[in-house]
Amino acid sequence: MRAPRSALVVLFLTLLFLLGPFVILFWASFGTRASLAFPPEGFTVYWFKKVLGMRMFVDSFRVSVLLALSSTVAALALGIPAAYALVRSSFPGKSLLELFFTSPIIVPGLVLGFSLLQFFTAVARCPVASRLFLGHMVILFPYTVRVISASLRNFDPTVEEAAVSLGAPRWLAFFRVVLPNLRAGIMAAFILAFITSFNNVPVSLFLSGPGVTTLPIQMLTYMEYYYDPTIAALSTLLIFFTVVIIQLVEKTLGLSTTLGG
């Protein structure tokens, strides 16, 4: 049964609404004038060159990438054992634990960022970079746990048992038999967490500090004073960066899955 014409029209308009702004952004980043007029006049890659040369953006980009990488790895390191514990066991109160592990998603990022700032100022003084790392690790954790749990649930527990019966202690069975088959899940979790961290504003907003700022925050600061296409160009670059990341991770972790069967 096909959908009625009207529904398809709504779908088309919706897609236009969702994706149109990106196209406009893309277009605007090539304009010559130093203000955000539309349609943009002329064509130039000046803004792209400018962005790539600006210290504040290059530095904050580096911070964002390192932060995303480290907090994603940490979230996975916490999430994989936690997921295993949740999926392979049953005990009273398990759903409560699951709820607790998911709760960082429910709490507004801004509130958490604010609370963490208070916490780090009053209770546990530590460098800005560590604060960002810890804050991101916490908000990424629910994603890794959820995705890995879903993957684990699809994996037959008797295969693990077979490995144990053949002489592999439980931990070795996990690394040799379970983990290789979780590749797809780990890859999905990695992409999701990395992007969530990279794009995060609420937590980074409160935890960033002098010298250690993430890219989105830096962009916001810049926008408080300037309205030129610099940000447009940067935004365009970022969108492509996101696409590249997804492809990259898929190629490295994904291809091996296909090869390994």
Partner 1 sequence: MLTTRKLLLLSVPALLALTIFFLVPLAMTFLGSLREGGTWTVNRYVAVISQRSFRVALVRSLKLGALVTAVAALVSYPAAYAISKLDKTKRTLLMSLIILPLMTNPVARTYAWFVVMGRHGIINQALLSLGLIGSPVKILYTEGAIAVGLLQLFLPLMLLSLVSALENVPGELEEAARSLGANGMRAFRHVILPLSADGLVIGGTLVFTGSITAYVTPAILGGTRVLMLSTLLYQKAMTLMDWEGATVVAVVMLLLAVGLNVLLRRLRPQEAS
Partner 2 sequence: MEYLRLARVTVGYRKGEPILSDFDLVVREGELVSLLGPSGCGKTTTLRTIAGFLFPWRGKVLLKDKDYTRVPPHRRNFGLVYQNYALFPHLSVFENVAFGLRMRRVPREEIRRRVQEALRLVSLEGFERRLPGQLSGGQRQRVALARALVMRPELLLLDEPLSNLDAKLRAGMRTELKRIQQELSVTAIYVTHDQAEAMALSDRVVLMRSGRIEQEGTPRELYFRPATPFVADFMGFTNRFTATVESREGEELVLQKGGIRIRAREKDLPPGTEVTVAIRPSSLRLSSPGGEGIPARLVSCAFQGESVQYVVETELGELMVVHPESTPRFSPGDEVVVRAVPEEVAVFPRKEDA
Cα gap 220→200, rounded to integer Å: 12
Which residue reads 């943009």 in tokens?
40
Q: Is residue 148 near partner 1 by the rule CB under 8 A?
A: no
Q: If we measure between CA atoms, which residue out of 194, 163, 191 comes closest to residue 179?
A: 163
- Stretch of 7-15, 25-33, 174-182, 226-234 lying at the interface with partner 2 (CB under 8 A): 174-182
**162 token code pair:** 């077979």
Part in contact with partner 2 (CB under 8 A); list of ranges 47-55, 134-142, 156-164, 201-209:
156-164
Q: Which of 155, 235, 250, 257 binds partner 1 (CB under 8 A)?
A: 235
Report the nearest approach of partner 1 to the CB of residue 49 (Å). Answer: 19
Residue 146 CB, nearest approach to partner 2 (Å): 23
Task: Verify binding: residue 105, partner 2, rule CB under 8 A.
Answer: no
Within 13 A of 123's CA, how many CA atoms are on the CB side?
A: 6
Residue 156 interacting with partner 2 (CB under 8 A): yes
Q: What is the DSSP letter of 208?
A: -
Q: Does 7 bind partner 2 (CB under 8 A)?
A: no
CA distance 142 to 147: 9
Q: Is 44:197 a contact under the CB 8 Å cutoff?
A: no
Question: With binding defined as CB under 8 A, does residue 201 bind partner 1?
Answer: yes
Q: Point out which residues bind partner 2 (CB under 8 A).
A: 156, 158-159, 161-170, 172-173, 177, 180-181, 260-261
